[in-house]
Structure 1
Amino acid sequence: MSLIYAPVFALLVFEMLLFLSLIVPMPFKVKRGLFEFISHNPLVAKLQYGMKITFIFILILFVDSVNRVYRVQVELAMAKQQGGAANAVAGSERMEVQARKFYSQRNMYLCGFTLFLSLILNRTYTMILDVLRLEEENKRLTGGDAKSEKGKSGLGQAGELGEVAQLKKKLAERERDIETLKKQSQGLSDEYNRLGDQVSTSDNVPKKDR
């Protein structure tokens, strides 16, 4: 492998390892912290900018390798058309052309797969960020992450339980007051009925008995 294509191969191996690290299952908090670090770290941003320039050069190498493959194919077609008495000489030339064809195709595949994997990495990174954002939004809406949200706002689980206990206490006091009012109302009703019976009895007594 020539010196110019060795870094391309190293970059391809790095992209493969990076892709595997992106799809490895991790806890939600770990993955969110890792992607927040990648998204906000200035060193990573500079590295991404440098990688974009590198991919431009790899694209130029890919176009050049495609052009070389095409020219080799033309040379092979011309060698087949010649044939005849120059078979011995043409045989050695044909082997050389086949070797150049092999190297040109290898370089084309190497650059092509490197560029293709870079697009896959970019899309995978974007999709994972969207999934993390949706999971966080889902937890916030469903209350799955309520404990952490209350910790951030200064409210805790103990405060919520204390508030519920106070409401229950007030509700119990109201129920006792209602029960007391019921008993007082019943007592007044009984007293009213007793006085009504006395008045009715006194009205029924004859005057001579009075």
Structure 2
Amino acid sequence: MGELCFLITYHPVTLTKQSPSKSIKQLLDALDQFPDAKLIFTKPNSDAGGRQIIELLELYVSRNPNRAALFTSLGQLRYLSALQHVDAVIGNSSSGIVEAPAFKKPTINIGDRQRGRLLANSIISCSEDTNDIVQAIHKALSPQFQENLPKVISLYGQGNTSIEIKNLLKTVDISNITLKSFHDVKFVEDLS
């Protein structure tokens, strides 16, 4: 495998006992175990604790300018373009659950933020512990895991839902649909 590149988005988890600062430090410590990997960070949402995460990410990127970049948002087109070229998606964002499998990319899903969601076979869930994150990244990069990525089925569709809806609507016979009747009712003002 050539030069590695990870796309990372980590949002604050609002219903947890662990502070966002501790959680993001665990992730950053894990990423330090891959010193040659290029890191593309996107900033977290505005939930409580997001500012703490941003401050730590800004500090991390300033200390690692040759390998890390932080973006407020890449926008849809740039994000999906980046997703196409990275080796793994890391964090706790829904993009690792919904979009990454459609691109046949492994996701390291950290913590409980996405608990209860349907997970494709390309998603490796782990705790917010540094060692667990490192092990999950190694698993995602392993030849055995990589070999199965082309067979991954996205559980959230293939991006053609609007076309399918349009085609289905074209088959619906609306000739027998009764239209709703409206009646004007005179309004009488009560002056008493």
TM-score by length of 1: 0.21
TM-score by length of 2: 0.22
Higher relative CO (Cα under 8 Å, sequence separation at least 6) belongs to 1
Q: Identify the structure with the greater helix proportion.
A: 1
Structure possessing the higher radius of gyration over alpha carbons: 1
Q: Identify the structure with the greater strand proportion.
A: 2
